[in-house]
Amino acid sequence: MSKPGTPYRVAWPIALTLVALIIATTILVIFLRLESWPARTARQSTAELERLGKNVRAAFIDIAHLQPRITINNRVYMEQTTPVSELVVLSRRIEVEHEFLHTWMGSSKRMKLHGTFLAKAGFDLRKDLAVDIRPNEITVRLPQAQILGVEQQQVDVLEFENGLWNRISGQDVQSELSVLPELAWKKAAESGLSAKAEETLQQQLEQRIHTTQPLRLIFKDEKKSE
């Protein structure tokens, strides 16, 4: 008669071998996955940054009608296209007044003018404009905002008084009219319009670039760098 425990003694080594093979296969799969994880992560990260680069490009084309120089992890991804000369971000109505008074031999002439101007603030895009995209941050470097122009809208003569022998000449009028744009430039500069233009550009880019990374704008002072 055969012993009843013999088939079990034969089956146990086979079962243990199968379990060992399963464990070894699982460990090998996990090892291969871990070994390829950095490469797969790098490919996914690069693809995501390149997608972000396209979003940045589209945002600048929409806002400024140009493509900036874009680098991704210090690698040039896109070169800058020939830019328009200026980017006007916002405009503001500026009103100024100027009074002229001249007395000669007891005779006085007087003129008072009121000017309405449209001041435009933005960026001179002929200067350096570059975007650097990294996994933890997007950096945009561009010149500081400035007053790009003041456009005369209307001039009103509030007062125009001639003296008996001290008359207002055409040269007087031209001279006083030329003062108004200078006053408008000064008032626009002192009103904080340039700083508001920088804030506006930041908001416009954030609205168009959909990303979780911080967006940092660095405004370069050309005067200090010279």
Position 92 scores a pLDDT of: 94
Query: What pLDDT is recorded for position 42?
Result: 42
Nearest to 123 by CA among 225, 210, 217, 224: 217
pLDDT band at 83 (very low <50, low <70, confident <90, very high): low
Mean pLDDT, the chain, whole residue set: 81
Tokens representing residue 39 in the block:
């490469």
Report the pLDDT value the prediction gives residue 6, as an integer from 0 to 100.
55
Q: Is the pLDDT at 154 greater than 70, yes or no?
A: yes
pLDDT on residue 16: 67
**99 three-class SS:** strand
Q: Where are the domains of the chain?
A: 52-225
Amino acid at 7: P
Residue of 172 and 79 predicted with greater confidence: 172
Which residues have CB under 8 Å from 26's CB, separation 6+? none
Average pLDDT over residues 38-60: 70
Average pLDDT over residues 13-42: 60
- Percent of the chain at pLDDT exceeding 70: 78
User: 191 Cβ partners below 8 Å, 6+ apart?
Assistant: 92, 94, 119
- Is the pLDDT assigned to residue 60 strictly greater than 70? yes
Distance CA 225, CA 202 (A): 23
How much is the pLDDT for 145? 93
Q: Judge whether residue 84 has pLDDT over 80.
A: no
Q: Is the pTM of this model over 0.75?
A: no
Q: Could you count the other beta carbons within 10 Å of the beta carbon of residue 217?
A: 15
Asked whether 139 and 131 are in contact (CB, 8 A), the reply is yes
Q: What percent of the chain has pLDDT over 90?
A: 39
Two structure tokens written together for 193: 């319009």
Parallel/antiparallel/unpaired status of strands 107-124 and 137-143: unpaired
Segment 53-59 shows an average pLDDT of 85
Q: Higher pLDDT residue, 22 or 177? A: 177
Which one is predicted more confidently, 25 or 88?
88
Residue 41 has pLDDT above 50, yes or no: no
152-163 CB burial, b ≥16 within 10 A, e <16:
eeeeeeeeeeeb
Average pLDDT over residues 193-207: 91
Residues 116-150, buried b or exposed e (16+ Cβ, 10 A)?
bbebbbbbbbeeebbbbbeeeebbbbbbbbbbbbb
Six-digit token pair at 12? Answer: 């146990």
